[in-house]
Amino acid sequence: MYLLIPAAGMGRRMGSQRNKLLLTLLGKSLLSWTLEAAFKSHYINWIGIIGQPVDFPDFQKMISGLSTNKSIELIEGGSTRQESVYKGLQALPPEAEQVLIHDGARCLATPELLDRCAEEVVKCPGLIAAVPVKDTIKVVDSSGLIQDTPDRRNLWAAQTPQGFEVKLLKECHEKGRQLGWEVTDDAALFEKCGLPVKVVAGEETNLKVTTPVDLRVAEFILTEALKKEEGRSKKEEGV
């Protein structure tokens, strides 16, 4: 399975003047945590990191400190996420039939989630990881007045990974470029082209680290997860 990781953005909402994926979480960069989950995946064997050349020396230094036998490529991104993914798709090996796309800022995604999506994407044209919305959602107009309250039973919060047939996604991106579509994720391009997108169960802890508050929440979640993992290891060792 092939994995593209958009990692070309800056951390303006994080209050950082550098790529936020280079910020640290429990002593490792956000991107390192994302990559470690991909390394533990049973299906992913090729990883393309889409970034800006200014960050490549930091990315290369980080990668050199990680242990993996999986192929990793650095791909120059664009000025938007959409353009970056487009460039990432062009850099895929010609034999790639399916691809997963996972935001580097979702550094808490588990290998199990990546594998769940990898297993499912070979059975459908497109998919996204998502979780049911818990809050009541209001549709509000430009003047701040509520226009509608949709049934939350039909609402899901989109996450990544998102997975697609490479040929179809390339066609959707080309059409989007021709028609000037601007979207926030690849599933939206699929939807605009009338193609089906399946929902795969995501993870409540798979948050996107965007603000300093997100970083603190991620630290708590990761700390608890590492404690559980340590506890399981001790049980297995009979300690």
Q: What is the dihedral of CA 145, 188, 218, 213, to 10 degrees?
A: -30
pLDDT of residue 119: 98
Size of the chain, expressed as the number of residues it contains: 239
* Cα 89 to Cα 29: distance, rounded to the nearest angstrom: 25
Flag residues of the chain having pLDDT under 70: 9-17, 233-239
125-172 residue pLDDT tens = 999 999 999 999 999 999 999 999 999 999 999 999 999 999 999 999
- The pLDDT of residue 125 is 97
Q: How far, in Å, are 36, 74, 83, 114, 133 from residue 44 at the CA level?
A: 12, 16, 23, 8, 29
**Residue 102 falls within a domain, yes or no?**
yes
For position 195, which CATH number holds? 3.90.550.10
pLDDT at 19: 87
Q: Exposed, middle or buried, 84 (CB in 10 Å: 0-12/13-18/19+)?
A: buried
Number of domains forming the structure of the chain: 1
* Assigned domain for 141 exists: no
H or E element, residue 156:
strand 156-165
Q: Is residue 23 part of a domain?
A: yes
The string of DSSP codes covering 187-237 is HHHHHHTT---EEEE--TT-----SHHHHHHHHHHHHHHHHHHHHHHHHHH
pLDDT for 66 equals 87
State residue 77's pLDDT score.
94
d(CA 9, CA 56): 13
Residue 150 domain flag: no
What pLDDT sits at residue 235?
Answer: 65
Q: Is residue 225 part of a domain?
A: yes
Residue 137 lies in a domain: no
- Asked whether residue 104 is domain-assigned, the answer is yes
Q: Could you tell me the two tokens for 19?
A: 């790529």
Residues 6+ apart with CB under 8 A from 52: 8, 19, 76, 77
Which tokens sit at 219?
Answer: 């630290």
The pLDDT of residue 17: 66
Inside any domain, residue 144: no
Domain housing 198? 2-128+155-237
